[in-house]
Amino acid sequence: MPGKAVKGAPDPLAAASQWLQSSLAFPPKLLQQLHEAGGIRLAGDRLRLRMFLPREPGFAAISDPPLVLYEDDFCLVVHKPAGCKVHPDGEERKPTLAHAVAAHYAASGEQAAVRHIHRLDEYTSGPVLYAKNEFAQLKLDSAMARKEIHRVYIAIAQGEMKLGRMTIDAPIGRDRHHPKRRRVSPTGKPAVTHLECLEVLRGASLVRLQLETGRTHQIRVHMSHIGHPLLGDELYGGDPKRIRYQALHGEALEFVHPLTGEFISVNDPWPPVICELHDQLKR
């Protein structure tokens, strides 16, 4: 509590807001929202915050709830299966991960908006982080912009690579010859991928990757660029015979908790299709 600095101030609410911003790093946008909703109140020597304002999810609960990997009052991490979009894009009407999260909130009695912090390609499986309130969203969005949310992927690439680590630093832009494809281009946006070849398989390689940037299709474009497209990734030259979509899975997500500052690490086990493909190709 800011104590006398608030008690003796001509405008105690303004002083409380200033303290929240300077001492607890409350985002100014959230403070404005709380003020407008009457969510900041002084009761004697106590400061009361109504931070968890009820919100509509924004999506119908028309899907089964997702597999929850981590959850608290501020954050939710769920597994996104391959073939499921993170949110609707207008192309089709089938349920998305957003609808599944809405179903989870409905089942648990939470009145929270569905707010994803990052995305995954439709056919990439792995963990997706959601903010359960405005405070968490603003803090996590800021962390994402500062590249403080780390995502680690596992993939099976075509061809036998050398064991070891490398960094791919190659800008990515749109391919003007294809509406969905991206390509390495000197006029593209900066894109950096760190990778480690963990195991040489029969005609393929098991690699672990970490993104320094988050361009559309970044891993797929970079792996194709170095001559090792992902198995199943027909759009970028991968062989579709053994798997019908890119052999790519997000195996870990790491972030700092928006309120406590605690380091959170969430693992997402390999899905059966990746395990089976790996076993088939082992030497």
Residues labelled as active-site residues: 121
| DSSP H stretches of helix in 180-226 | 218-225
Q: How far apart, in whole angstroms, are the C-alpha atoms of residue 68 and residue 191?
A: 30
Residues with Cβ within 8 Å of residue 220, at least 6 apart in sequence: 121, 229, 230, 233, 235, 236, 246, 248
Q: Are 41 and 23 in contact (CB under 8 A)?
A: no
Side chain identity at 70, as an amino acid letter?
Y
Token representation of residue 281 = 């190709």
Distances (CA, A) of 150 to 66, 68, 94, 213: 22, 19, 30, 10
Torsion of CA 131, 137, 143, 145, to 10 degrees: 120
Q: How far apart, in whole angstroms, are the C-alpha atoms of residue 280 and residue 283?
A: 9
Beta bridge partners of 200: 205
Q: Are 117 and 133 in contact (CB under 8 A)?
A: no
Question: What DSSP state is assigned to residue 92?
Answer: -
